[in-house]
Each structure stands twice: as C-alpha cells, then as structure tokens.
Amino acid sequence: MAAILWTEALSVKIRSIDDQHKKLIDMINDFYDNISKHSNNELIIKLVNGMKSYTIMHFNQEERYMVQYKYPYYEQHKKEHEQFIAKVNALEEKLKQGKIIVSFEITSFLKDWLKQHIMKTDKQYGDFFIKHGIV
C-alpha cells in the first residue's frame, strides 16, 4: 500500500516539476514499503539519503527559476525548503547514530510535508512560471 498517491490535485501544471514531484512521491512510497518490510537500518539510511539528494536537486531547480524570473515569494519559499532540509538532516543524523527508530511517523512527516508544500506553496508559482515559459 502506498503512503501517498499522485493525483491531479497535486499538479502545479508544469510537466517538469510535476514529474519531479511524482519521483519524490515514489521515493516516499519506497521508503514506506521498506519500513513495512522491516528493512535493515543501512538500507533505510540509504533511502533517506537518496530522498534528501533528490529533494535538494528539485529545490535548487525551483529556486533557480524563482531567481531567474524574480518570483516575488522567493525568500519565503526558500526558507521552507531550508527548514525541510534541516529537519531531514537531523532525522538522518539520528538514524545514523541509532538515536531514532525508523517508524511510520517519519513517513507521515515526509508525506504530509510534501503534500502541504505542493498544495499551498508550490501551487502559488504555477501560473507565474507558466507565464515565463516554464513547462
């Protein structure tokens, strides 16, 4: 069972960004599946690291567009990205040190944050980016 499913309600109407969001959803679902299977901690850490790397790449692309086209809410958006990465870094470090047990709470955090960020924050830039030719 998937932790999160892609629906058109999550679309920002920009294919390249929607595709990246779909990839993030797939990665969260893979993480969820591995927690369900009680995969070893080494694999879980590898999955977290992969999600973090892909998320940073995605955030960087969004932020490049925002800077390039002078998106008016850039600073606020960037701050959300930074807070998320800081939280993921803290979770990853606790996992590596054995100070946290992988649980569905982590999956819920990832899933809920992504859905909320897309639905509220990312959707704000959809029309703005489209007007600037981003597809």
What is the band of 21 on the pLDDT scale with cuts at 50, 70, 90? very high
Q: Is residue 2, in this structure, part of any structural domain at all?
A: no
Provide the domain limits for residue 75.
Answer: 12-131
pLDDT in tens, 84-127: 999 989 888 888 887 766 667 788 888 999 999 999 999 999 99
Q: Is residue 3, in this structure, part of any structural domain at all?
A: no
pLDDT score for 70: 97
What CATH number did the domain enclosing 89 receive? 1.20.120.50
Q: Is residue 4, in this structure, part of any structural domain at all?
A: no
Start-end of H helices in 1-116: 15-36, 41-68, 74-96, 104-116
Query: In this structure, are residues 102 and 41 in contact, taking their beta carbons and an 8 Å threshold?
Result: yes
pLDDT score for 82: 97
Rounded Cα–Cα distance for residues 30 and 57 (Å): 19
pTM score of the predicted model: 0.92
For the segment 18-31, the average pLDDT, to the nearest whole number, is 95
Please state the domain count of the chain: 1
Q: Is residue 56, in this structure, part of any structural domain at all?
A: yes
pLDDT in tens, 33-83: 998 898 888 898 899 899 999 999 999 999 999 999 999 999 999 999 999
Q: What is the DSSP string of 73-92?
A: THHHHHHHHHHHHHHHHHHH
Q: Is residue 1, in this structure, part of any structural domain at all?
A: no
Q: Is residue 116, in this structure, part of any structural domain at all?
A: yes
Structure tokens at 53: 């790397």
